[in-house]
Amino acid sequence: LEVDPDEVWLKRRARQRGAAQYTRFSRAGARFVVSEGGHRFHVNLSDYLDTWLFLDHRKTRALFAAEAAGKRVLNLFAYTGAFSVYAAAAGARSTTTVDLSKTYLEIAAENLELNGLAGPQHRQVRADATTWLTDRADRSMFDLCILDPPTFSNSSAMSDTFDVQRDHPALVEATLDRMVPGGVLWFSTNRRKFKPA
């Protein structure tokens, strides 16, 4: 590919067992801005296993954005908020970006600002999405939602483990309870042998 070896970042994803979790493994700070679909996003190639932007969802983000104009959009397990950026840029009335990670939500806010989309109508919520959905203190309702949970999570900030195969029926039901009649829910998973319940 004629890429200078100093510009190549090699990472290996391995199955985590028990309480093991991926953590920050570098402070090299290979952080810069990339463009996708007319939008700009912060990425970090060095410090974490993931780069802050999942490329496999490029087409999905564009399709999702095509439905977002005028909608109240919910982005669950939002990571760094790329779906929120796409929706906001497409004219969403509001976006709510929910993730358990403070770092990822800070990047989500930076991504909105980077695209000139920051404002009170685009909020970030630090919470376990499964708990937040049933929170009686915030009963906001939504027209459009992207639900892209991890395959598995054992985060110490969660009260229990999460397994998408086991937990998706209850998660989908809880999400639908936060949708207006006629609202649209997009569900995504990377689990190879996933079977809808």
Give tens-digit pLDDT for 136-182. Answer: 888 899 999 999 998 767 655 556 777 888 889 999 999 999 999 99
Alpha-carbon gap, residue 156 to 188, rounded angstroms: 24
pLDDT for 138? 83
Name which residue leads in pLDDT, 194 or 27.
Answer: 194
Alpha-carbon gap, residue 158 to 99, rounded angstroms: 12
Distance of CA 33 to the CA centre of its chain: 18
